[in-house]
Amino acid sequence: MEIKTTTEDGVAIITPSGRVDTSTAKAFEDGVMGTIDSNNKIAICFSGIDYISSAGLRVVLMAGKKLTALNGRFALINMPEKIFAVFKMSGFDKILKIYPSFEESKSFFK
Amino acid sequence: MLIKVKNNIEEISRVCDTVSRFCVENDVSDEKCHDITLILDEIITNIVNYAYPDDKEHELSVNIDKIGVHITIRLIDSGVAFDPLTVADPDVNSTLEERKIGGLGIFIAKQLSNDFKYSRVNGQNQLDIRISTQNGEKSDGN
């Protein structure tokens, strides 16, 4: 798994690519949790993800909990439909902020 | 089609690839193929992580077939007795702070299945899963 991180308007945008499953969840976790150590405004961009299992959802939930505890901001952006379906099925759409694009998440991060 | 799987996490991507090929050969849509792959990923991950308390190599079997408009999957493992249907569903209405980490894999597998049955047969765990290849058939989960 490749993970790119860029910063825009003070928000760290983490963009992983490929599959987030049991075998790649550790790399995903390291990338996300490592970024939280240096920034409490985080967006995960899912445009390059075509598969996520509960191993990946676990990392997203951990990140959400940690950023809430830190009074940070956390959003999920650019989610393909089949990835969104897995989040919705798990009830994560009710506890996490999901936006169609980074542009649309900007007011949340302000 | 019978797939033999060793109790090793590395095996899961091979199973997913094999199942994807099975779906293409049987004209199963990409969307349903995604669901079938995810179900198997979650269930096999669970078996590999929890079914065998020793450090030895074990083998489980996955039988996948297309019967009419349904995909049927039978998973058999010789691990400790474990009925996934006894695992409480996560509370999908809890707040972020309350939401527990874990327990999601089996829940997702049940949600995506139209039929999900467990039996203990000859000292082995047997899971029988059925998934409709057509959209719209309601998943009963349990």
pLDDT at residue B115, as a whole number: 97
Backbone angles phi, psi at A54, to 5 degrees: -60, -25
CA distance B141 to B93: 18
A67: CATH:
3.30.750.24
Residue B119: CB atoms within 10 A of its CB come to: 10
Report how many domains make up chain A.
Answer: 1
In the CATH hierarchy, which fold is given to the domain comprising B2-132?
Answer: Heat Shock Protein 90 (3.30.565)
A108 in any annotated domain: no
Residue B98 DSSP class:
T
Alpha helices (runs of H) in B7-139, residue ranges in sequence order: 11-25, 30-50, 104-112
Range of the domain at A66: 2-102
Which of B23, B49, B104, B112 best probes binding to A when mutated, by most A CB atoms within 10 angstroms?
B104
**Reported ipTM:** 0.91
A110 in any annotated domain: no
Identity of the residue in B9, B42, B99 whose CB atom sits nearest the CB atom of A95: B99
pLDDT at residue B142, as a whole number: 45
* Domain extents in chain B: 2-132
Residue numbers in A near B31 (CB within 8 A): 82
Query: Confidence class of residue B138 from pLDDT cuts 50, 70 and 90?
Result: low
A54 in any annotated domain: yes
A107 in any annotated domain: no
Query: Confidence class of residue B140 from pLDDT cuts 50, 70 and 90?
Result: low
Burial B75-112 (b: 16+ CB within 10 A, else e): bbbebeebebeeeeebebeeeeeebeeeebbbbbbbbb
Which of B23, B30, B41, B100 best probes binding to A when mutated, by most A CB atoms within 10 angstroms?
B41
Q: What is the pTM of this model?
A: 0.93
Q: Where are the beta strands (DSSP E) in A1-110?
A: 2-8, 11-20, 41-45, 49-52, 73-77, 97-99
Kindly report, residue by residue over B24-58, the tens digit of the pLDDT. Answer: 999 999 999 999 999 999 999 999 999 999 989 99
Kindly report, residue by residue over B79-128, the tens digit of the pLDDT. Answer: 999 999 999 999 988 999 999 887 899 999 999 999 999 999 999 999 99
Per the CB < 8 A criterion, the answer to whether A40 and A70 are in contact is yes
User: If you search the block for the tokens 């039996």, which residue do you land on?
Assistant: B119
